[in-house]
Amino acid sequence: MGRFKTALINEIEKLYKRKKLVVALIISFIIIILGQLIILGVNRGFGIRGVGSMEFPMLVLSVVVNTILPLFTALVAIDSFSGEFSNNTMKIALTRPVTRLKFFTAKITAILLFVLFNLLFVMVLSTLAGLIFNANSFTLRGVIDIIVSYLVTLLPMLVLTLVIVVFTNILRSGVGVFFLSIFVFIILKALGMVFSRYSGILFTSMLDWYKLFTISPLPILKIANKFSMMVGYVIILFTTGYYLFDKKEF
């Protein structure tokens, strides 16, 4: 456990120093401000009610979870694996007293912490923006919905991260992985729309699963179904990713 912790601290430091986190936070900030300005414009210009203060963070989440969050997750995952493969820096840590399993898990955990931090940042900022610019008042149920929705989004993002990590361990080029990830993402989204009956099994449709947590009464069976599906994906993808990583020679 000690060696895993060390590898995790090192990965977090590397992630922080590469400035990707700062860029992600700045872009998230701009999107929230732009979103809020558009809503204000619609509200004042056309007299149409945009969203209430409780709905704004959820609106932001629905945009972020399908756009910049997968994009930055992909960039960070590609940097963490393909970047280190091509710069030949992967061997720096691999020749230290830490097993590949711990090192691989530390890398995934660091990416996941990046996603979590980004989600929490967007949540706090969009909640504040919603509170300042929109008229409706907050309710406790609303606040809980927001927190739960943002937190549960971490699970589909883990699936997405692992898909990209598997790609990074198959393809040599980081650019190749990036375009393949975008291609697969778009194809799966399109398939989900065309064959909506079967969209439930595609992980891209699971990015919106947080909406299930805002329904009253809570659709427990549907949540359990999606949760099991995602856990299944995580187990398969983690095992595949680790198998490929462990077989790699440097």
| Site of interaction with another protein (CB under 8 A) | 3, 6, 9-10, 13-14, 17-18, 87-89, 91-100, 247, 249-250
Q: Which is nearer to another protein, 13 or 186 (CB)?
A: 13
What distance in Å separates the CA atoms of residue 11 and residue 8, rounded to the nearest whole number? 5
- With contact defined as beta carbons under 8 Å apart, do 89 and 54 qualify? no
Q: Which is nearer to another protein, 95 or 216 (CB)?
A: 95
Q: Which is nearer to another protein, 130 or 241 (CB)?
A: 241
Q: Which is nearer to another protein, 100 or 189 (CB)?
A: 100
Min separation Cβ 25 and another protein, Å: 18
Q: Which is nearer to another protein, 89 or 139 (CB)?
A: 89
Min separation Cβ 72 and another protein, Å: 18
Min separation Cβ 83 and another protein, Å: 10
Q: Which is nearer to another protein, 6 or 43 (CB)?
A: 6
Min separation Cβ 162 and another protein, Å: 24
Min separation Cβ 69 and another protein, Å: 23
- Write out the chain in H/E/C secondary structure: CHHHHHHHHHHHHHHHHCCHHHHHHHHHHHHHHHHHHHHHHHHHHHCCCCCCCCHHHHHHHHHHCCCHHHHHHHHHHHHHHHHHHHHCCHHHHHCCCCCHHHHHHHHHHHHHHHHHHHHHHHHHHHHHHHHHHCCCCCCHHHHHHHHHHHHHCHHHHHHHHHHHHHHHHHCCCHHHHHHHHHHHHHHHHHHHHHCHHHHHHCHHHHHHHHHHHHCCCCCHHHHHHHHHHHHHHHHHHHHHHHHHHHHCCC
Q: Which is nearer to another protein, 94 or 191 (CB)?
A: 94
Closest CA to 42 of 26, 62, 56: 56
Min separation Cβ 23 and another protein, Å: 14
Min separation Cβ 98 and another protein, Å: 7
Tokens encoding 225? 């179904």
